[in-house]
Amino acid sequence: MYQFVMGKVTGFKEFDRKTEPYRPVKLRIQDYGEIFTDTHNVAHLQEQGARCMDCGVPFCQSNEGCPVDNLIPEWNDLVYHDKWQAALVRLHKTNNFPEFTGRVCPAPCEGSCVLG
Ligand code: SF4
């Protein structure tokens, strides 16, 4: 069982928020590929996971946050620690379909996140 410990206490100060740009529409209409440009950049994903502050009151999990109650700080920490299988197991505790909610969800957790 994974012992949840916040691994990167200063991550939110060290790393800026970086979003993935969309691929150009003219390319996207020619295939069924991902909308985003660089979805498999593991280092980038881990860096962004390290930004989570493991808030005492995690607004990402409030009523204005994740509508399926994903365990977001824990999941961010597992991603940061390169524990992708454990992150998936943790995600399945609250979400039966992460493979498509991860693509269509408008991410209210991000809007409610203390870091924005
Ligand atoms: S509100 Fe943001 S920084 Fe705080 S625990 Fe949730 S995701 Fe992490």
What are the tens digits of pLDDT across the range 58-92?
999 999 999 999 999 999 999 999 999 999 999 99
Task: Say whether pLDDT at 116 is over 90.
Answer: no
Cα 61 to ligand 1 centre (Å): 8
Q: Model-level pTM? A: 0.84
Length of the chain as a residue count = 116
Report pLDDT for 59.
Answer: 96
Most confident of 20-24, 34-38, 88-92, 96-100: 88-92
Give the model's confidence band at 34: pLDDT under 50 very low, under 70 low, under 90 confident, else very high.
confident
Q: Where are the domains of the chain?
A: 11-112
Q: Is the CB of 66 under 6 A from ligand 1?
A: no
Does the pLDDT at position 108 exceed 80? yes
Kindly state the tokens that stand for 102: 């991860």
Nearest protein Cα to ligand 1, atom 8: 52
Task: Express each pLDDT in 3-26 by its tens digit.
Answer: 666 667 899 999 999 988 889 999
Identify the pLDDT of residue 77. 94
Nearest-atom index, ligand 1, CA of 54? 5
The whole-angstrom separation of Cα 24 and Cα 10 is 35
The three-class DSSP label of residue 25 is helix
Whole-number pLDDT of residue 100: 86
- Report the first-to-last Cα separation within the chain, whole angstroms: 30
CA of 30 to the centre of ligand 1 (A): 36
